[in-house]
Structure 1
């Protein structure tokens, strides 16, 4: 739930901000993350689990799963239009993610307290199986996320 009182006219376009961020984020590109739905309070991302994302046992490495969750809630918060950074996060792993699976990260804004914004992330497979749940805390630093939104369109 947002307490922002600025008008919709003053709000940046979340997809445009996320796409500009993605163009400048090597981790996002290297993991092959896709923006499915873009919003400042709710969004969805996805990635295909490739061989380079797996661990010794042939399933998605927990660090890759965590990276997807962190990127997802980070992009969602920055879609508010103010520069923000991850201040804390935790994850609970519930099921292995097989090689070749499409992994989704659904992000929901949970709370705002001062300059801290909290997000819940549900990571799941195409069939709906929840593989992990994460909670992230973003700290709003202020200032523009990107200087020229048209620069990366």
Structure 2
């Protein structure tokens, strides 16, 4: 993969983050971005917990969706989710550091499928996400 494509993916991430107030609220850190791939980290905070004292499922989904969004838009075309599913295998707790790793599975002219795994520091996978995006003809960096 060329260095130019990686620079483009990073520029797309930076542009999207300027107005992605939800991902800003999650307080994620970008660990890696390249075409078709994104890895983020996030620390579970008290305000992210549900009534059982574990990470709220909607927050886990949002974290996965953020990595999914950056990975799917990294090709340069504006891509928006048209489907997403999550399997909740294990519960995360306050203070845990989580990683969301999004990888392209299948990219066509109009759609793309991605898997996102959310794991802890030991590499245990807590949540499995699979999503599909619609790939428009608009360019992210020309919006």
The question of a shared fold, defined as TM-score above 0.5 by the shorter chain, is answered with yes
Higher strand share: 2
Structure 1 stretches of at least 4 aligned residues deviating more than 6 Å after TM superposition: none
- Whole-angstrom CA distance in 1 between matches of 2:74 and 2:107: 15
Q: CA RMSD in A?
A: 1.8
Structure 1 partner of 2:56: 61
Measured after TM superposition, the shift of residue 10 of structure 1 is 7.1
TM-score normalised per structure 1: 0.86
Q: After superposition, where does 1:25-104 map in structure 2 within 5 Å?
A: 25-104=20-99
Measured after TM superposition, the shift of residue 114 of structure 1 is 3.5
Higher helix share: 2
How many equivalent pairs are there?
Answer: 142
Paired residues of 1:92 and 1:133 also in contact (CA < 8 A): yes
Paired residues of 1:21 and 1:146 also in contact (CA < 8 A): no
- Whole-angstrom CA distance in 1 between matches of 2:45 and 2:3: 40
Structure 1 partner of 2:140: 145
Structure 1 partner of 2:11: 16
TM-score normalised per structure 2: 0.92
